[in-house]
Structures are given as structure tokens and as C-alpha cells.
Structure 1
């Protein structure tokens, strides 16, 4: 049986690059019946600091570095003016040296955003770090266990996240159950990485899982790359929009969206 140790749910260590009082945020569109949206993030003074266009279901953005403070994310239908009636408005707080994920989830009639703190500290030697986020809109709560019987999540409700778990790297088979649904998914986690495993919906109302890399061999800033375990993820450069602009004192490269292939 694989030995699974519970990692403390602590904020990431402050890397050297955070000395200028920055934190990081990324946004995930996991509302299955909500069409693509444009996302505008503004600071407390109303200035736009982050722009992401044509964000479809299954897209997780890279981390964007922002000064510590309070922000507002406004989602409008893709291609519509920013003055259009919003799909959702969510408030964010960015703390220095801390990374957060803003997850848009639920059916469109009950859409909401949940902000969770990401732990980007390095796992122990010869380990990887994972957590589960329940983002299924149609199943109210899920249980997740390994093929060896280790319980990873129990009655995890929509919008909730487990603590991070330090696990042996390599292939894993996870069993998902809840709401009368059951599924088995294969994921692969690499040594010295931290990943979030999102429980999501399939078109027929079943359950699936999207693994997303939080960090890899933690450097000065979050990596925000893709994990490829289980074959669920694929870069979709054909549809990814790269005209989102992070507005900082010195403008960085425009972030490309990470587009995930959800098993529909």
C-alpha cells in the first residue's frame, strides 16, 4: 500500500523575487455550461492589471504576478464590451509571496468563484505533492481513493480543496465516487512537483479529473505549466489567445492561456 502523508496547508515560502511585495494569481474556468468569457482584473483604484480573452471551459491561466492588495475580477461573455452585464464578479486579495487560484465553478445558474491558497513549497525528497479540488457542478460531494485503498478525499463538497498530500512520484489510479457516479482515472505525478487535481464533469454527467501542475522544482516564481498525467491535458495553441496583458511597472510578456482537453 502506498504511504500517503498529509502535508500542512501552509502558504508558499516567500521566494527572493517576492521582495517587491508581489503575490501571484491564476484563474480557472470550470463552469461546464458557461460559454467562453473575457476576464478583466482591476485593482482597488479601478485600473486594469490583468486581461484574459476567450477563456473557455477547462482553461487554467498561468500565474500572473501582482502587487499585494485587493482586486476585482469581472467576467463577461467573450467578445462582448466590458460594459456588458457580467457573468460573474469576484473579489480577490493578493498577499506578498503567496499564490492563489481563483476557480470559477458551478452551473451557470449558480455560478460562483472560490479562491484557494496554493502551496508552492518544495516537497520532501523523493516525493511529489498533490491536492484534490472538487469542481464538479453536478455532483455535490465526492470521495477520492487510490487503487490501493488510501482515502485521499472524503465527502469533498463543491468548491472545497483537500490539504496537500506528499506522495511517492509516479503513476496513480484514483477512484472517484459521488452522486451515484463512479469513475477511475490515471494520473502521473513527477518528483519535486506540486499539482492540483480538479474533479470535473463529463458531458454525460459523469466524473473526470484534470491534473494541473502548480509548480515544478520550485524556482523564484511559480511555474504555472501543464501536467500531462492520464492523458487529460493537451496544449491547445490553435485556440489559445495570447493577447492578455499583465500591466506592471515593466510590462512582462503577454501570458498564453493553458487550454485543457476535458473528456467530453
Structure 2
């Protein structure tokens, strides 16, 4: 999956350090990232390759001791241009794709958390942790992370797949965790809300950070509790349907770094809990 970057190592511990000429620079424009393609691989710019002001650079994280910094509004230059984010996260080398996704998560938070929600004063970076602090009233803002579930609902040798309006990609049911509920309760609620079915034997599979939309995803397999018709929530889904393992055309070529694709593939090869 997108976070599986071994043998590279990811370190998100907060540090107060300044960029060097060798530091990697992440800059975004909407959902595009400053990058370059060379020989079908993505390249992330180092500070020495760009003409930019580093005085406002924000340390994000390190991969293999290489620090990555966020710099806002870097102009295109030296063959580096803004490219759509999602294809970058699926490109080689994988650790750059993960860096872009995680960097975007923090970029999106920084650009949307400029002022205090309590008193309206401008927020300033904390000196001791990754947070933004209001100097007037003391409010502390931490990076926003939205918990959500991915749900593989099975019945005998079938799995329930769905499609969102206007999209052709096969997906699993999914939804955000609401106030006061467990992840397992979210699974049961989302299935009932989206397709009108009851579930049992809910089992946790794996989790995944999904920085492109500021989520952390928890994957669950579950089973149909009893037969019944699908009652589709057309506000959420275009269609939902059962498909057998034999009829499901899904191979390694469909793995795109997402938890959803891995869970569908694991069902296809009958290797899941």
C-alpha cells in the first residue's frame, strides 16, 4: 500500500531544523505537486535545484534521514512543474509517492488553519510540537485526521462492490466515523445506511493513512447477517452489487496503493481473515 515504503524508513517526529541545500522541498498548487518525471520515475526537488526563499520553510518529516520541507507557492522552474497529485502517489519510487501524499495532508492543514476559531487571531507555529497556537487565547490546533472505515462485505463466495455517481471504478463501501461510535459500529451503520443490509462477524484487517483527503482508513471484513434485497442510498452510490469470486476480474495489476484495492484483491485470491 502507499505507506509500504520499506526498506525506506519514515520519521514524523517534530523537529526544529532548517533546510539545507540537500533537503527535499514539497510545494503544492491545489491538488497538484511540484515534481518532475525522469525515465518514468518521479523526482522531488532538492532546495539547491530551486530559486526560492527558505525563510518560511516548514519541516514536515524525514525519510531515510533526508528531511522534507513545505514551502508555499514555489514557481515552476528548472524542469520542475506542477503535476496532478494522485498519479504521483502511484508512481515509482514509492517513497516519493508517499512523501507527496503525506506532505499534501500537512499542506492542506496549514493552508486551512490560519486563524483561531475562537477569537479570530492569526495562529503561529508551536515551538515544541506539530501544532498551531493562538497567541491571544491559547487555543491549540493539531493536524486534522478524519477516521473512516473501508468495508468488504462478503456472503459465501461473493463480495459487495459499489460505484460512486459519475465514476466507473469498483469500490468497497466506506464512511466516516461519527461522534460516540466505535469503528465496528461505524461499519454496521454505514452498510445499513448505504445498502440496507445487516452485517455480522466484523473483523479488523488493516489501516492506512490517506493524506490526499486527510483520512486514516481502517479496513474491515464482515459477513451478511441474513439475506435481503439491496436498498441503495442513491445520494451516496450509483450502484451496488454482489459479484462472485470467479466472476471478479481483479489481479495484481489493479493494486493501486489503496487499502480498497488490496482488500478486493485479498478476497479474489481467497487470502483474507
TM-score, normalising length: structure 1: 0.28
- Say which structure is richer in helix: 2
Higher relative contact order (CA 8 A, sep 6+): 1
